[in-house]
Structure 1
Amino acid sequence: MSPNRHVAILAYDQLCMFEFGIAVEVFGLPRPEFADLGWYTYEIVGIEPGPYRSTGGISIDAPYALDRLADAGLIVVPGWRGAKTPVPEPLLQALRAAHDRGARIATLCSGVFVPARAGLLDGRRATTHWRYAETLRAECPAVTVEPDILYVEDGTLLTAAGSAAGIDLCLHIVRQDFGRDVANQVARRLVLPAHRDGGQAQFIARPVARERVGRLSALLDLMRERVNENWTIARMADAAALSERTLIRHFRDATGQSPLNWLIAERVERCKELLEDGELPLDAIAEAAGFQSQETLRHHFRTRLGVSPAAYRRSFGAAA
């Protein structure tokens, strides 16, 4: 029996247009070069009576209704209209039925809240955009939320993090279904790297302090300016004119991290900037960021981002 390559891409009012476009681009674009492989067919399935408007006011036509999910081997949920917005019961029922018969369900960004509210992710691993991770954890405590990575596959349920990570997940599905060479061709047409592993970290811009007032604000700025210097707790406390215990408490209140973890994060950020901007050798970058050796830099970089400095430079450097 040949595999079911029919894809249903959900549409709804207040549609997340970028995520929707990703799914259509990967699974709906005509690809005659793959016709002999049994390439995907697809339908746009509306979850309720229209009209459907996307972000930006664009109107979308969805010619098929939820009963079409019964024929789909893959259902793509391209975002959702609000992390706390209820999901219509007919959609929840249709997804449960599709899951029971073995269909794959893939969610992009905030789309994770749809199968989560259907109970399909209970006891399973999932990810979403880092902005929604805590909301998902609070709203759906039975889901094991992995907030730092690009995508998660747990059985027939696949979830992607931030919007662009949806491309990585879709390419992962193509790679599973048709092999590496075909996925690489699709990636080249998108002018994208062929493969970012699901376990790779979301590249989140430097977090700002929760509170930018008082003595700690000046200290954070000073430490960023001199991130390569030796910052002990005693030196931090002296610079902020606080006791060490008070400093640690204020640090957690302002940043959500210990002073050491915040400093390591800032040093990794400095490494990212240097890797992106030029061709400095790794030992010079380690010194400029305050790491004592290349080995220490590599350890913290991989621990926090899931990739090596060299791989990061290949993806984000000036010549990338």
Structure 2
Amino acid sequence: MSDASARVADSTGNWVDTLAPPWARPYLRLSRFDRPIGSWLLLMPCWWSAALAAGIAHDSGRLPLTIVLFFIGAFVMRGAGCTWNDITDRDLDDKVERTRSRPLPSGQVTTKQALAFMVAQALIGLVVLLQFNRFAVLTGIASLLIVAIYPFMKRITWWPQIVLGLAFSWGALMGFAVTFGRIDVTALVLYGGSIAWVIGYDTIYAHQDAEDDALIGIKSTARLFGAHTHQALVLFYGLAVVLIGVALASGDVRWPAWLGLAAFAAHLASQIVRLRIDDPALCLRLFKSNRDAGLLLFAGLLADAVMRAA
């Protein structure tokens, strides 16, 4: 198989295709390093939580190191999760136009090779996790159960995005676990807000595959909401803003954090206004733009943490 035909259908012209050694490309595609948006979205709640917890503690001394460790952990663990997802979905991916060129269904790697690569990524994640306190280590390990069951949810429920939200929002708990060695109400409310955000943006993402999913019996909130997706997004994005706002109020944040939340809310509102569910390319662009929405909120929380620690 030529490298051009081995490229994943919705990801071409990236650094993996052009710069990575040929032998490494299938593995980098398995871990989605050719499409890092998912790693960024997994990282955002981690950074929100770390910055909010540092602000509450009035101590930002360890925040830079925590930010770096969360960055590494998010990218390798998202890679491990995607590898696991591709292993469990290898037969389904072969039936969807956008995913049949992934490394496993296209034969670029074997299932045993993919499993070994998944374990290697998980071990790197464990090394990162062990830099934190015992409570944070146990909290991080607990997330693996959700990660393990997520790929099967789209076969049995119309709401797999909830399970994805539980997994991708886990970082909202980790910042508090790392900083305080506990999870309090503020962290749980932030977690709830992040879950609502994930349900919203992954519904947008799932509209790319709605027709193929219907043919092979895969369930999603995109298919469930259908023409009512805009109203559903108003509900879930609105709930995300409200719950995150409650968490910020509980953390007694100052004006930079509120400014970040306002920018985050405005970004989400613009997505709803612009969305056309019958335009897959637009759905992908709007989904990817959630990294920028998350960074706007993080910038406000980071400025707040620095201000309160001064």
Larger radius of gyration: 1
More strand by share: 1
Length-normalised TM-score, structure 2: 0.29
TM-score w.r.t. structure 1 length?
0.28
